[in-house]
Amino acid sequence: MEIEKIRSVLESLLLVSGDPLDISKLAKIIEVSVEKIQEGIVSLKDSYLKNQSGLELVQSGNQIQLVSNANNAQFVEKMMKIELEGSLSNSSLEVVSIIAYRGPISKPEIEAIRGVNCSYALRNLSMRGLIERQSNPQDSRGYLYKISLDFLKKMGIDQVEKLPKYDILSKDERVGDVK
């Protein structure tokens, strides 16, 4: 596979993930050697630097993540502040509802229910303090999401089981039992 194609696939995978990815995992997904992935990472970093891109790669050991350029931090912070103070989007409302009624639940399980990627909504809900992330005992590479105490306080309840129709919606057979 040509380095340009590897670079393009890397960029797509890192963007969609939103989280750091292991270089060996990327090599398996793309079906190339770890050395080719490293070469693609260097090429992508050089491209971002040369084009004064709004994106950059951050690497720690074998983990790599696509992030916004540090030079644009003031604008990113301004946007995030507006988002955190504004109303939740419909997609964020859907995700927090799924977590509240079906949690603790993994990202792939949420996406199976919704049918679309939920990385952005999870990050937004986490930043607002409405959900918490915990280690997944069934998959050490993944996480489980559950609602936070702040969520319960904002809803004016002391336990998740007091949510409307909790008995029915927490066991909705149309989406299978994900617990």
142 falls within a domain:
yes
Q: How many distinct structural domains can be found in the chain?
A: 2
pTM here is 0.56
In this structure, are 99 and 168 located in the same domain? Answer: yes
77 falls within a domain:
no
In this structure, are 168 and 95 located in the same domain? Answer: yes
In this structure, are 65 and 95 located in the same domain? Answer: no
Domain around 92:
87-174
pLDDT tens per residue across span 89-110: 888 899 999 999 998 999 999 9
In this structure, are 163 and 93 located in the same domain? Answer: yes
pLDDT tens per residue across span 39-74: 999 999 999 999 999 999 999 999 999 999 989 999
Q: Where does residue 10 fall: left (phi above 0), alpha (psi -120 to 50 degrees), or beta otherwise?
A: alpha
